[in-house]
Amino acid sequence: MLKEIDIKLTAQVLINQNLYHIPTTFVTIMDISKIRLDFPALWKKWNGKYPIYFDNACMTLKPKQVIDSMNEYYNEYPVCGGRSIHKMAKKVDEKVTEAREKFQKFLGASCPEEIIFTRNTTEGLNLVANSLELKKGDIVLTTDREHNSNLIPWQIQAHKRGIKHMVVYSNPDNTFNIPQFEEIVSKNKNVRLVSMVHTANLDGYTIPAKEIIKIAHEHGALVMLDGAQSAPHKHVDMKALDVDFFALSVHKMAGPTGMGVLYGKQHLLSELAPFIVGGDTVSDTTYDGAKFLPPPEKFEAGLQNYAGIIGSGAAVDYLNNIGLSDIEEHEKRLNTIITKGIKDMPGLKIIGPQEPGMRGGIIAFTVELPKGGDAHDIALVLDETENIEVRSGAFCVHSWFNYRKCEAAVRASLYLYNTEEEARKFIDVLGKTIGLFNP
């Protein structure tokens, strides 16, 4: 593993030899060329070219700081936490506590006990869906563009417990329809939970969460936000939002794979039934019963992904060092360049609000080319020709696509290490790719 000094030297050598992929323009306060040096995956050439990684909504790349922190665990104290009293185990406990406290601050939670480590957003959402006391006839309200992870759990609960899942349909430009939402919650007295995607992976649009939460609370409903695409890209504050539950995936915020966080207000977490149960969720058992520990232990069953938890703490440090508001601004600026380029390309239609500032770091578009070529063809050519890695398909929001009788789209999703040069290259190659299908 390279040390800080080696990294700097290596960078200089690469830059001198014109081998390193640095942006040509620097209008940003973030030093992107320096940031890029932290991400080893950006240094590896594929077929002789560096990758242009635009699939960040799926998973982000990992900086060496995160990788190093996990290697430290594996090299120095690769043991279990929460149980044994020897030195290595105590070190793990110390690191896990640190990571939990980092997330508490990152999310503006009231105490570390409000932070539950999970595998991902999906697990956090499923935990609440399974453990929240809901009875037959209770309504759970979602938007019309939920990731399957915030749709299927409610369909299952409808089947199992007889709850009712209702949908707030978006405005024609895919923005949130507040009047319709207000009408549903005021007319249906048994709306128990509003569970909505905070920033959509479909189009990058962020719902007016604060207003929604205020209205929901006025009508006695709890609110859970799917923060998979918001927490990695903008500052989110649990107390300021007054949100009841919030789920995120650490692997989408420069952190390790297989790691997520569920935030919940302390009193609500205490009231939730246990979900996955077993070792370390209890203080005592008999043949007839178990005494559950308070959260977070109640929800962190079995030996944990300690390396992942430690790496997650390092990811928080990494993002904090750069600053979430700078990251947000940077992505919007790149999105503006891409939107301008795509707007007039024949056959491409941007999903969601047309104003790039309303779509954060995501730009998704449908493809309808008169002489053929679909979203997957476009994605494949982008990758084959210039290593431009985007996503094609329904992005796990099949319900939205099915409702509109549309099969698939292409999505470019940005993060802190992407450059203006990459954005321009993407537009250039995309234009040529479309040209291939429309000679």
Ligand X SMILES: Cc1ncc(COP(=O)(O)O)c(C=O)c1O
Residues designated as active site? 396
Does residue 122 belong to the site contacting ligand X (CB under 6 A)?
A: yes
Does residue 226 belong to the site contacting ligand X (CB under 6 A)?
A: yes
Tokens of 54: 């635009």
Q: What is the closest distance, in whole angstroms, from the C-beta atom of residue 90 to ligand X in the complex?
A: 31
Counting every residue written for the chain, the total comes to 439
The runs of H, that is alpha helices, within 176-323 are 178-187, 209-218, 238-241, 266-271, 306-322
With contacts defined by CB under 6 A, name the span among 115-123, 317-325, 345-353, 367-375 that binds ligand X: 115-123
Give the one residue of 37, 52, 221, 228 binding ligand X; rule: CB under 6 A.
228
The conformation of residue 294, written as its DSSP 8-state character, comes to P
Does residue 197 belong to the site contacting ligand X (CB under 6 A)?
A: yes
Number of residues near ligand X (by CB under 6 A)? 13
Give the one residue of 56, 69, 104, 121 binding ligand X; rule: CB under 6 A.
121
Give the one residue of 104, 174, 229, 312 binding ligand X; rule: CB under 6 A.
229
Does residue 249 belong to the site contacting ligand X (CB under 6 A)?
A: yes
The residues pairing with 291 across neighbouring beta strands, listed in sequence order, are: 284
Contacts of ligand X in 55-84 (CB under 6 A): 57-58
Helices 64-76 and 306-322, interaxial angle, to 10°? 150
Cα torsion 233, 209, 395, 121: sign: positive
Q: What is the closest distance, in whole angstroms, from the C-beta atom of residue 175 to ligand X in the complex?
A: 17
Burial call 276-313: b when 16+ CB within 10 Å, e when fewer: eeeebbbeeeeeeeeebbebbbbbbbeebbbbbbbbbb
Residue nearer to ligand X on the CB measure, 143 or 419: 143
CA 59 to chain centre: 8
Residue nearer to ligand X on the CB measure, 229 or 366: 229
With contacts defined by CB under 6 A, name the span among 74-82, 118-126, 182-190, 407-415 that binds ligand X: 118-126
Question: The tokens 């923060």 sit on which residue?
Answer: 227
Q: What is the closest distance, in whole angstroms, from the C-beta atom of residue 146 to ligand X in the complex?
A: 8
With contacts defined by CB under 6 A, name the span among 119-127, 331-339, 374-382, 409-417 that binds ligand X: 119-127
Residue nearer to ligand X on the CB measure, 60 or 433: 60
Does residue 143 belong to the site contacting ligand X (CB under 6 A)?
A: no
Neighbours of 35 (CB within 10 A): 22
Give the one residue of 130, 201, 339, 413 binding ligand X; rule: CB under 6 A.
201
Q: What is the closest distance, in whole angstroms, from the C-beta atom of residue 264 to ligand X in the complex?
A: 17
Neighbours of 435 (CB within 10 A): 11
The conformation of residue 274, written as its DSSP 8-state character, comes to P
Residue nearer to ligand X on the CB measure, 32 or 248: 248
Give the one residue of 64, 147, 233, 332 binding ligand X; rule: CB under 6 A.
147
Written as one letter, the residue type at 316 is V
Q: What is the closest distance, in whole angstroms, from the C-beta atom of residue 362 to ligand X in the complex?
A: 10
Peptide bond into 296 cis (omega under 30): yes
Residue nearer to ligand X on the CB measure, 142 or 418: 142
Q: What is the closest distance, in whole angstroms, from the C-beta atom of residue 355 to ligand X in the complex?
A: 20
With contacts defined by CB under 6 A, name the span among 2-10, 16-24, 224-232, 325-333 that binds ligand X: 224-232
With contacts defined by CB under 6 A, name the span among 39-47, 128-136, 222-230, 281-289 that binds ligand X: 222-230
Tokens of 47: 């077929």
Residue nearer to ligand X on the CB measure, 229 or 399: 229
Does residue 399 belong to the site contacting ligand X (CB under 6 A)?
A: no
Contacts of residue 319, defined as CB under 8 A and 6 or more positions apart, other chains included, come to 106, 232, 253, 254, 327
The residues pairing with 206 across neighbouring beta strands, listed in sequence order, are: 199
Q: Identify which of 331, 332, 356 has the alpha carbon closest to the alpha carbon of residue 343.
A: 356
Residue nearer to ligand X on the CB measure, 57 or 107: 57
Residue 427, phi then psi, degrees to nearest 5: -60, -45
Q: Identify which of 229, 233, 203, 207 has the alpha carbon closest to the alpha carbon of residue 354.
A: 203
With contacts defined by CB under 6 A, name the span among 116-124, 263-271, 280-288, 402-410 that binds ligand X: 116-124
Give the one residue of 104, 120, 195, 335 binding ligand X; rule: CB under 6 A.
120
Q: For residues 99, 311, 261 and 232, what is the CA-based torsion angle, rounded to 10 degrees?
A: 110
Residues that bind ligand X (CB under 6 A): 57-58, 120-122, 147, 149, 197, 201, 226, 228-229, 249
